[in-house]
Chains A and B, each alone.
Chain A
Amino acid sequence: MKNDRQRTFMLITIPILALFVCFNTIPLIRGVIYSFTNFRGFGKYDWVGLRNYIDLFTDARVGKSYWFTIKLALVTTVVVNVLSLLLALGLNSKIRAKGFFRGAYFLPNILGSLVVGYIFNYFFTYIIPALADMAGIKALSSSILSSPSKAWIGVMIVCAWQAIAMNTIIYISGLQTVPEDVYEAGGLDGATGWKQFRYLTFPLIIPFFSINMVLCVKNFLMVFDQIVALTKGGPAQSTESISYLIYNNGMAGGQFGFQSANAVVFFIVIVIISVAQMKFSSSKEEQL
């Protein structure tokens, strides 16, 4: 009997595993192999040993893209989590038309990120400068996407605008797991307002907080669509994210081998960051 159950589970698992190996593990291994060649993506190629990896650490453009991506990921993660936690607290309280607001705030998540990017592109290029001109704000009278030092803020805003929706939903579901009697008991001990949030609500939703942090950091480290729609890596290569650089130079350019090495390193970086985050936040979790 037990054997039969096991067999069923295996029958479910094996095809999935086969698909995973086919479309994930094998390409990954091939990518690692190509990272030791000067393969352009077609034609003949030579083995170059560790040259790609050595180049990677001396390439200013790659360094710049890592700096940009990490900066973007950190800032966006903080902005998204603060705002979506605030929104979730608001949307979880007893307000009028709660269902409508929850729906409205979820809307950005169902729009394609390319569409959102193109709309914001127009917004940053024409509408904001026009409004700023009327209001006499000099700092905003030219498009922020055309300034190498400020373009990343534009990308950050678009990423955050879209990501807040999903994170808010996760926080709302987290807030709903906190039982009412905890607040009642806490209230008797004088925990209200900020204290209530700090000592009761937040520790109890830490698992949701850690999910959001991991998802955010991972998603923003791999930012791609928004870059394509907003800046295409410009101006002056200031918004070239790692994924964009890998795709652009690996596929459209002739650096398949070199960018494969970049992808391998990037993969390792993401694994390390995710594992570190999980370790850190699981040590902080509280159980009722």
Chain B
Amino acid sequence: MNGKKFFHGKRTKCVGIALCCMTAMLPVAGCASSGNSGKTEIEIVQYKPEAANYFKTVEEQFNATHDDIHLTINSPNDATTILKTRFIREDYPDIIGIGGDINYSYFVDAEILTDMSDYSGLQSINQGYLDIAEALEFVPVDGTYILPYVANAAGVLYNRQMFADHGWKIPETWEELLALCDDIQAEGILPFYFGFKDTWTCLAPWNAMAVELAPSDTTKQVNRGETTFTDQYRELAEKYAQLLPYGPEDPFAYGYNDACTAFARGESAMYPIGSYATPQILSVNPDLDIDSFVMPACDNKDDRTLNSGIDLGFCVMADCPDKEAAYEVLDFLLADENIQQYIDDQNAVPCKNGDFRLASMLDGMLEFIQTGNMTDYQDHYYPSEMSVDALLQTFLIEKDVDDFLATFDTNWQRYNRDIIRMVQEYAQNH
């Protein structure tokens, strides 16, 4: 190899350097905005691909009625991963549509969201959901960083027709639920369907029961070092395991889609999952009459509370150059007719106060929604990399309560080390 000689050729050197520079510039050039005739560009990335059609319509309507702002809404699959990958490159959209879960907590903590306290639209939002958002912050932060848009509710979906045919009554306590399951089984029908192959579905019954059996701020208490999951989650874990015999023989062979299909075909009387599953179920069997009830995990029917959290909220990024334009877009999204359209499509619960028509499959939960008897999902506080869903799946396979709770506690300390340190530092200083 005679590399030295090459560098004597001056011209070649220049060409070489030019090529290096060009290749280095390539990724940068790709990011530059294309410029749209003086209009303000607003880009939303939202994480619910199942609502992509709704957002397509909203985007078209908005652009047809606004001359000064051009709106783009993206609804990719697995948007949270896409967003995080974009954030690594410091390429931020103007508005993001995310759920009220730990990712929101991370984003607030990373200081990449704008304080929206000055946005007038917040006045019309149900205070309950603003409180839920506030609670998601690791340590209290001044300001409001999310506009709660719609909520979902998780309990038990049931086949209303089948219940009427057999004269089964909606259970209101844990005892009644088990008795009902026995009755259903006695008639040769499967009480529950589970799709535990998709690990996240293991969280649905868990969350719905947890709101009644564990304090709503369990995770925060643990972070402050006041309690352990072994103390708080034992009853919950034991009761969850009791549901398994009422499901299919090998629930770990079936995924979410399989379970939705089976429930839609009447193979089981109930399916413990959130209201978000109904569009999927109805796509298999549009004539199915679905209703839902609140998971009765406690012994006293007055202790019941509905498992409900922010399913979709909008945050304006700190990087957004034109906040006024972003607020204008949010105003449009918050218009009553648009929210009604969304909840009709997705069977969601609006976070905005007002007179909205709710889907019939929420009938059994209406009382709880109207009185505001709702508690946020426990899993909204679990870090996704800890994979509590997989821990739960392991537990449901092994059925070893002690081992599960011990693992939960050790893993929690490990995955939340930085957060726990932050929380305890905050506690010392305030």
Contacts and interface: CB of A to CB of B under 8 A. Distances in A.
A14 B19 contact: yes
A237 B394 contact: yes
Given A44-B110, A146-B197, A22 B249 contact: no
A237 B396 CA distance: 13
Interface in B240-283: 249-250, 252-254, 258
A212 B269 CA distance: 53
Contact of B390 (A10, A145, A236, A252): A236
Size category of the B interface is 35 or more
Interface of B, secondary structure class, is helix
B15 interface: yes
A19 B112 contact: no
B23 A15 contact: yes
B298 to A, nearest CB: 29
Interface in B19-46: 19-20, 23-24, 26-27
Contacts of B249: 142
B84 A251 contact: yes
Contact of A38 (B24, B85, B418): B418
B81 A251 contact: yes
Given A145-B197, A236-B390, A249 B385 contact: yes
B131 interface: no
Nearest to B81: A252
Nearest to B411: A61
Contacts of A18: 19-20, 23-24
Nearest to A9: B6
Nearest to A151: B252
Contacts of A42: 84, 87-88, 106-107, 110, 112
Given A22-B23, A143-B253, A11 B12 contact: yes
B218 to A, nearest CB: 20
A234 B197 contact: yes
Contact of A14 (B16, B85, B87, B383): B16
A136 interface: no
Most buried by B among A15, A143, A254, A256: A254
Contact of A235 (B9, B85, B197): B197
A236 B397 contact: yes
A42 B23 CA distance: 26
Contacts of B384: 252-254
Nearest to B385: A253
A125 B254 contact: yes
A41 B93 CA distance: 16
Contacts of A15: 19, 23
A92 to B, nearest CB: 40
Nearest to A121: B255
B390 A234 contact: yes
Most buried by B among A6, A129, A248: A6
A117 interface: no
B86 to A, nearest CB: 9
A172 to B, nearest CB: 36
Contacts of B383: 253-254
A287 interface: no
B80 interface: yes
Interface string B405-427: 00000000010001000000000
13 contacts: A14-B16, A38-B418, A43-B106, A43-B112, A142-B249, A142-B250, A146-B197, A146-B250, A232-B199, A233-B199, A235-B394, A236-B390, A251-B85
Q: Which 4 pairs between the two chains have the least Cβ-Cβ distance? A: A43-B110, A253-B385, A42-B87, A146-B252
Given A18-B23, A41-B88, A43-B111, 20 more contacts: A3-B9, A6-B5, A7-B9, A11-B16, A14-B15, A14-B19, A18-B20, A18-B24, A41-B87, A43-B110, A44-B111, A125-B254, A142-B253, A143-B253, A233-B390, A234-B199, A252-B80, A253-B384, A253-B387, A254-B106
